[in-house]
Amino acid sequence: MFRIYYPEKLSEFISITGSKSHKISSVLRLKKGEKIYIFDGKGFSQIMVIEEINKDEIKLRKVSETEKKIKKNPEIILAISIIKPSRFEIAVEKTAELGVTKIIPLITKNTNDIFIRRMNKNRLDRIKNISISASEQCGSDFITKIENPHTLDEIAKLKNDETELILFYENLNGRIQGNIEVNKFKKLIILIGPEGGFSDEEYSKLKNKSTVLSLGDNILRTETAAICAVHEISTLIRPTP
């Protein structure tokens, strides 16, 4: 069953217009009487049947509700350095599929100024649509939020008793596996640097405020490191009883 994100409150009857209407009728080629899984990005969802297909509008009727989904705890937030747009979009798509709650474009000393300037409103809107499509595709009832760019200092200030910073640093000797009690936190912020990595000064500022880990001896592209890091941390989270 195809899944469509609907950002407003779900009700017995809803109408879908714009690009989503086009997707249903022209891309997915769904017909009257077929069912669609509709979700609001906040954990609520329902199965709906197509009642009417017009040129610019699809009318749906609720068939049944599904059980409200609960977000995993702790939530994973990815703070990833701004890189080449096409590669940044890969990181957004894949980590959204892995279930990150939020993605924060990160500005560091070695972040390319050209890429920072390209992270404008239009680019952010495009990235938000990518995260929505990823959630529709992977089966999540939650949408990964896309924040405006933050500096590393701004991210560091988010550290508190309920929020842990997890710094993946490429200059460690091999892979570090410690006993990270991730479940005692409500939020885990994964920090991924740019090409060239975090500067020595940045590392010095962060190492005592963060759990510092390595992904191994190989130097990974930023988007690859982000995907691997999110997966690694996700496997450490124990299911809530």
pLDDT given at position 173: 58
CA neighbor of 82 nearest in space, from 113, 53, 42: 113
β-strand pairing of 150-151 with 187-192: unpaired
Q: Quick check: 225 and 192 in contact, CB under 8 A? A: yes
The mean pLDDT of 227-240, rounded to a whole number, is 88
Mean pLDDT of the chain: 91
- Whether the per-residue pLDDT at 174 is higher than 90: the answer is no
List pLDDT tens digits, range 37-69.
999 999 999 999 999 998 889 999 999 988 888
pLDDT given at position 229: 95
Q: Is the fold of 3-65 the same as that of 75-236? A: no
Of the two residues 115 and 27, the one the predictor is more confident about is 115
pLDDT given at position 69: 86
Number of H helices, E strands in the chain: 7, 12
User: What are the structural domain ranges in the chain?
Assistant: 3-65, 75-236
pLDDT given at position 193: 94
Reported confidence tier of residue 179, pLDDT bands at 50, 70, 90:
low
- Whether the per-residue pLDDT at 92 is higher than 70: the answer is yes
Reported confidence tier of residue 15, pLDDT bands at 50, 70, 90:
very high
Whether the model clears a pTM of 0.85, i.e. scores above it, the answer is: yes
The helix/strand/coil state of 204 is helix
Pick the CATH number of 75-236 from 3.30.70.1380, 3.40.1280.10, 3.90.1720.10, 2.60.40.730: 3.40.1280.10
Q: What percent of the chain has pLDDT over 90?
A: 71
CATH architecture of 3-65: Beta Barrel (2.40)
